[in-house]
Amino acid sequence: MTRNRQFTLARRPHGMPVPEDFALIETPVPEPGPGGTVVRNVYVSLDPAIRGWLDDKPSYMPPVEIGAPVRASTIGRISASNDPAYAVGDWVMGLNGIEDYSLGGAGGFQMKIDPTLVPSVTNYMSIMGGAGLTAYFGLLRVGKPEAGQTVLVSGAAGSVGSLAGQIAKIHGCRAIGIAGGAEKGRRLIEAYGYDAAIDYRGKSVEQLAAEIASAAPDGVDVVFENVGGDVLDAALLNLNHGARVALCGMISEYNSAAGPVGARNLFQLIVKSASMSGFIATDFMAEIGQAYADLGRWLAEGRLVSHEHIDEGIENAFPAFLRLFEGTNQGKMILKIGED
């Protein structure tokens, strides 16, 4: 291949993204600079956070520029290298773009990965990747659950939520998951070991709060929040004294053209002397060794499972990305754009 297909941002989405917000273009394959590398991307991690990078708003990363490839974590193989640390063919993961070829490390991060250590190299995007680290640090370092406490996870069937629930169970907690639809509810119980599953669809804040209360008769000690809006408001009505809300994401808010719904039951933080803390996994990079050791052991012991939903072809980047907001992905959303 001599052309680099790139899925670029054509204009900033207003509310839910539409196909016209993006373009599929072809550019020359980049050449590595002195000491640099080029990666042939094979798998692209499609994450809700990408939606935030498309807006021109202050965030923890600069917005994707108009005309630039949409930023995403990828797994690929070194295709050209001027860096003795990387040989052609090495597997790497990094923060790159939705494109066939990326300049290695241009997104600020590249590391080698060993596919022989995991059942599938794509596990480096789920259990052994950003999803696993986010669930691990968010639950254990931000949520700080103790054995016997109750952990409520929203977006509980998602890539991060499903792992947060499983790690809560490993830590001896009662885990309650909120997700959309009966199929996901079954998956929460049967695949991820949640003690109870709640379907949020078509329910008011009051109804959801009552269902949470029924599933958590002793109240909720830790909320691992991925959804925001009504789901967060219902969770806030069930906090125990001193509860911790680990605010990981608010996917229900990202595409609202009218602006976010917000949290209207914040007063419960005062009533319960509770806290809500935002975080991203990179806050805890000093502990990444311990996290990978734990996640790798639990994976090897069969105590962590992850479902991966792999669509194929860079030309399907838009519908694959949209699945995250439609809730039609069944597990970690991955786009395969090259050969293994």
Interface ranges with a second copy (CB under 8 A): 52, 58-60, 228, 237, 247-250, 253, 259-280, 283
- CB 228, min distance to a second copy, A: 7
Residue 278's φ and ψ, nearest 5 degrees, are -80, 155
Token pair 């000093």: residue: 286
CA distances from 172 to 135, 150, 169, 240, 304 (A): 16, 9, 5, 18, 14
Residues 6+ away with beta carbon under 8 Å from 230: 200, 204, 205, 208, 252, 261
Instruction: CB nearer to a second copy: give 3 or 264.
Output: 264
- CB 52, min distance to a second copy, A: 8
Alpha-carbon distance 321 to 135, whole Å?
Answer: 21
- CB 263, min distance to a second copy, A: 5
- CB 181, min distance to a second copy, A: 25
Alpha-carbon distance 27 to 108, whole Å?
Answer: 22
Instruction: CB nearer to a second copy: give 275 or 316.
Output: 275
Instruction: CB nearer to a second copy: give 27 or 268.
Output: 268
Token pair 């959309």: residue: 180
Instruction: CB nearer to a second copy: give 47 or 90.
Output: 47
Instruction: CB nearer to a second copy: give 1 or 271.
Output: 271
- CB 243, min distance to a second copy, A: 10
Instruction: CB nearer to a second copy: give 240 or 316.
Output: 240
- CB 167, min distance to a second copy, A: 20
DSSP state string for 58-127: --SSPPPPTTSBPEEEEEEEEEEES-TT--TT-EEEEEEESBSEEETTTTS-EEE--GGGSSSGGGGGTT
Alpha-carbon distance 106 to 280, whole Å?
Answer: 20
Alpha-carbon distance 307 to 330, whole Å?
Answer: 7
Residues 6+ away with beta carbon under 8 Å from 71: 50, 53, 61, 64, 95, 96, 97, 107
- CB 287, min distance to a second copy, A: 14
Instruction: CB nearer to a second copy: give 24 or 280.
Output: 280
Alpha-carbon distance 15 to 45, whole Å?
Answer: 22
Dihedral angle of Cα 185, 165, 71, 50, to the nearest 10 degrees: 60
Instruction: CB nearer to a second copy: give 113 or 236.
Output: 236
Instruction: CB nearer to a second copy: give 85 or 271.
Output: 271
- CB 59, min distance to a second copy, A: 5
- CB 137, min distance to a second copy, A: 11
DSSP 45: E
- Which amino acid, residue 97? G
